[in-house]
Structure 1
Amino acid sequence: MYDNYEKRLCLFLDILGFSSLVKTMECSTVHEVVSDIKHTLKSNKEFMSKIGSEPIATTFSDCIVLSIATKESYVESAANILVTATVRMLQDTYLNQSIALRGGMSYGELYHARDAVFGPAMIRAYELESQFADWPRVIFDKTVIDHLSNKGGLLSIGFTDYGDGFWGVDCLNRVEDILNVEVHNLFDSDVARAALEKLCQIRDITQNKLTGSYGNPKVYSKYLKLDARIYSLMKKFGQVPALFE
């Protein structure tokens, strides 16, 4: 049967430190890590029924490609659910397994089936990941941004203007969204306290990553940029002791 490109929303992810993961863990453990990431990304069935499309996920080496077929008129809705799932996955994977990911998201022509995945949308998503997502974050191509009516965020998740020409999400967006609301109540709620605790946990994991990557400037620089993002949030929400201001 002759196959054509489809219009698909494409997420390309790279697992940072995957080589070390493979060297230090059993095959079954590595497989479980990758499977958990894919499952989290594919877990929201409610939206899929609305657009009539199931996500397809393909793994090769240290990369995961996930895509959803969607018409132009549904790109914003598709991006909403995919970004929301991505943010949840980025945070949970970092907090629970200390595994960081980076990636790119684009929209365009793509062939994605069991036997292969290729096309302009994947090439662009890969370029974003490999050339510009220089620390653990997922950045959006203009083909995604152009379909978003509210440039301040999606329906269920905010995203970040990183100030370097890219917008995207990272393992801190869920925490930031909660604290942006709870700051008005002076963080006097269980939800706020849980979010602040997660922020501190992410900081501690990142500090350990920095210590562990001593002598490897390429990896160290990635976590240093994530650390700067963490510090900016802690300062924004008044969690930096005066001594360190």
Structure 2
Amino acid sequence: MLKKYDPSNPQMVHSAVCFTDILGFSQMVLDAHQNGTGDQLLQRLHKILTEQYEDLKPEEDYMGVFKAFTDNIVIGLPIYDDGESQLGGIFLDFASFQLALTLEGFFIRGGLAVGDYYGDNEFAYGPSIIEAHYLENNQAIHPRIILSDESVQMVREHIDYYAEPSWAPQYRDLLQDNTDGKWFINYLEALMTDAHEQGNYQDVVTQLLVHKDVIEQNLTKFQGNARVYPKYEWAAQYHNYFCTHNIPQRLLQRHNNLLITQQTMGNFARII
């Protein structure tokens, strides 16, 4: 029997929980207010977040719970069977969410944890949301959604189901940052559906150029800021890694402006 969050009898359920927010959101709002563009920022945020929130909401009430307060987002999904479906759904949904916001210049950081959780329209409660928030606030650091140790262990078990690890969907959905060992959602993979199915890279290249541009804008803006600049330097290195490992060499040569110059590929790897 599928477990769910029942507001008539609130009890915690073993769940996958993701907590995210927008990097630098408070300062972004204050800066916009100061320079007289507060309403423009509000309209941009309202449009993109309203669209993306609608896509993230679970289809059935209390089978999964979505909560948002401006830039803070929580999704809880009760785990049933082995949890592969719930984790896989979060990977796919948040990859698309993170990609859409990043292309608009809003960079996302978050944490994904597995554990006891209860959520409804008013409540978000349990050790797993505390862990997810801790991961976002203390360990993610860069614009990435990282997995807890228990989440990583679950994914390792799921990958073992496949005769070849590279056949597992997680092989594309996740990457490991070798600088600290953290696994994170490979959000640029959300661009690749047509490329995988039809070999069509036209839209992929177009959106990667947008991704490059928003990163370069922040590298310029925060040059010399020792606290903020490394976050966008990480994003640049991730961008270069993804392009180098996913775009055919002939296209990289044709679009020789696709990589972010003066940045390395970063120290990333497939999770297997």
Kindly indicate whether residue 212 of structure 2 is the aligned counterpart of residue 203 of structure 1: yes
Number of equivalent positions:
230
Give the structure 1 partner of residue 84 of structure 2. 76
The answer (yes or no) to whether the contact 2:172–2:186 under 8 Å persists in 1 is no
**Equivalent position to 2:51, from 36, 49, 64:** 36
Contact 1:94 1:100 (C-alpha < 8 Å) held by counterparts = yes
Shift of 1:74: 4.5
Superposed, which structure 2 residues align to 1:1-245 within 5 Å? 3-23=10-30, 24=32, 25-26=38-39, 27=42, 29-42=44-57, 45=59, 54-60=63-69, 62-71=71-80, 73-95=81-103, 97-148=104-155, 149-150=158-159, 153-154=168-169, 158-163=173-178, 164-175=180-191, 181=196, 189=199, 191-236=200-245, 237=247, 238=249, 239=252, 241=256
User: 1:230 offset after TM fit, Å?
Assistant: 1.1
The normalised TM-score by structure 1 is 0.80
After superposition, the C-alpha distances for 1:209-230 in whole angstroms (9 at most, x for unaligned) are: 1112234332211010010111
Percent of aligned positions with the same letter in both sequences? 21
- The one-letter code sitting in structure 2 at the alignment partner of 1:86 is F
Cα contact 1:105–1:139 (8 A) shared by 2: yes
Q: CA deviation at 1:178?
A: 6.4
Task: Kindly report structure 1 stretches of 4+ aligned residues shifted beyond 6 Å.
Answer: 242-245
State the distance in 2 between where 1:228 and 1:178 align: 24
Whole-angstrom distance in 2 between the partners of 1:138 and 1:54: 23
Question: Could you say what the CA RMSD is over the residues aligned between the two structures, in angstroms?
Answer: 3.1
Paired amino acid for 2:119: H
- Structure 1: distance between partners of 2:72 and 2:27: 14
- Where 1:109 maps in the other structure, the secondary structure is strand
Long gaps (5+) in structure 1: 183-187
Structure 2 counterpart of 1:201, one-letter code: V
Q: Structure 2-normalised TM-score?
A: 0.72
Quick one: distance in 2 between partners of 1:118 and 1:158?
A: 28
Matched with 1:185 is none
Distance 1:170 1:215 in 2: 28
How big is the shift at 1:53? Answer: 5.2
Residues 28-73 of structure 1, C-alpha deviations (whole Å, 9 max, x = no match): 5544443333222226x4xx6xxx95331222464211111222x1
Q: Is the Cα–Cα contact under 8 Å of residues 75 and 144 in structure 1 kept in the other structure?
A: no
How far did 1:131 drift? 1.8
Structure 1 residues 167 and 233 mapped into 2: Cα distance closer, same or farther (>3 Å)?
same
Match of 2:173, SS state, is coil
Distance 1:211 1:230, change over 3 A: same
Find the residue that maps to 2:227 and give its secondary structure: helix
